[in-house]
Amino acid sequence: MVILNRKVPITLKKLQALIPRLRPDFPRIYEIKQDERNRRKGYEGEKHIDYYIELLADKFTILHDVCLEVNKRIFQMDSIIISKKAIYIIEMKDYSNKITFDTNLNQCIRSDGDIEMGYRHPIAQAENQKLLLETWLEQNLSRHIPVRYFVVFSDPNTIIDVIGDQAAIAEIVLHANHLPNKVLNIDNEINTTMKQKSHLIGKRILKENKDFEIDILQEYQISRNDILSGVQCPKCQTLGMKRGHSKWICMRCKSVSKQAHLKALSDYLILINPYISNKECMKLLNVSSKDVTTRLLKSSNLMYDPLHRRWRR
Ligand SMILES: [Zn+2]
């Protein structure tokens, strides 16, 4: 059973809220757009692999995008599969073209020329996650839970090449469509059953699962002044719709919307603060009447927090 589904990553949501509101001459805008594309592609790849993992949902307990804390350090795993005998960590990769694992030099080379070694090496990443998960299990459940890992490529066209020990790499690295059988075969080879029930281990992990958020304004050194206010036209994406009689009007394409402010509010709450005052709302929507913003806030899905005199989700 899948007990933790994959959601759209919060960082991707933040980037998508940020890009249309960033002043066009912001120096790192190209890099930010590139990051958004990479994260979107990564998320699509993860969902593709989820499809194959979930073919095992009848037999095993499955959690996607798990974040745990061990010794004050947060670590993230793309997916975990829990059987009666072991836990399998799935480290997902979405490289296109070709990737070469060189077991002699302990590095991997991407066809774009990047060489990944040390902590960026996909197998080293998975090994670190295994160590951290084992420590977490020891501190929270038991030291006798076997942990294994796989590095899984989402793109079926990725060519996996090996220099050196082919068999060792083939044990760990594979394409998504081979994953279900691989897990079943390896699991069959294990002779001992764990003392703990797999769904109870899953439940415990779910209980301790953390939300992992990065402050993207800090990450890209963006100040509040770099973020533009205004209501975005849902049709032509231009910022700065004008408030007419109970509707928003785009000055550029003349289209009309009753709900366009909701996106602006959601952008603000995701990017700037998790709450908004009426005054901040006036500034955000470029509206001079407090009564108008009060009406808009009341009819939104936000809740008023009388203690802080602000609106929040
Ligand atoms: Zn427009």
Burial label for 277, CB within 10 Å (0-12, 13-18, 19+), is middle
Q: Which of 24, 32, 51, 105 is nearest to 271 (CA)?
A: 32
- 7-30 in b/e form (b: 16+ CB < 10 A) is eebebbbbbebbeebbeeebeebe
Q: How far is the CA of 256 from the centre of ligand 1 (A)?
A: 8
Please tell me the predicted confidence (pLDDT) of residue 117. Answer: 75
Q: What tokens does 182 get?
A: 């691989």
Q: How confident is the model at residue 96 (pLDDT cuts 50, 70, 90)?
A: confident
Tens of pLDDT along 247-305? 999 999 999 999 999 999 999 999 998 999 999 999 999 999 999 999 999 999 899 99
C-alpha separations of 226 from 12, 239, 258, 287 in Å: 19, 14, 27, 20
Give domain 2-208's CATH architecture.
3-Layer(aba) Sandwich (3.40)
Q: How far is the CA of 248 from the centre of ligand 1 (A)?
A: 10
Q: How far is the CA of 234 from the centre of ligand 1 (A)?
A: 7
Domain boundaries of the chain, sorted by first residue: 2-208, 229-312
Q: How far is the CA of 264 from the centre of ligand 1 (A)?
A: 15
Q: How far is the CA of 252 from the centre of ligand 1 (A)?
A: 5
Chain-centre distance for alpha carbon 208: 18
Q: How confident is the model at residue 213 (pLDDT cuts 50, 70, 90)?
A: confident
Tens of pLDDT along 137-194? 999 998 889 999 999 999 999 999 999 999 999 999 999 999 999 999 999 999 999 9
Q: Which single residue is written with the structure tokens 């790192």?
A: 28
Q: How far is the CA of 253 from the centre of ligand 1 (A)?
A: 4
Q: How far is the CA of 94 from the centre of ligand 1 (A)?
A: 35
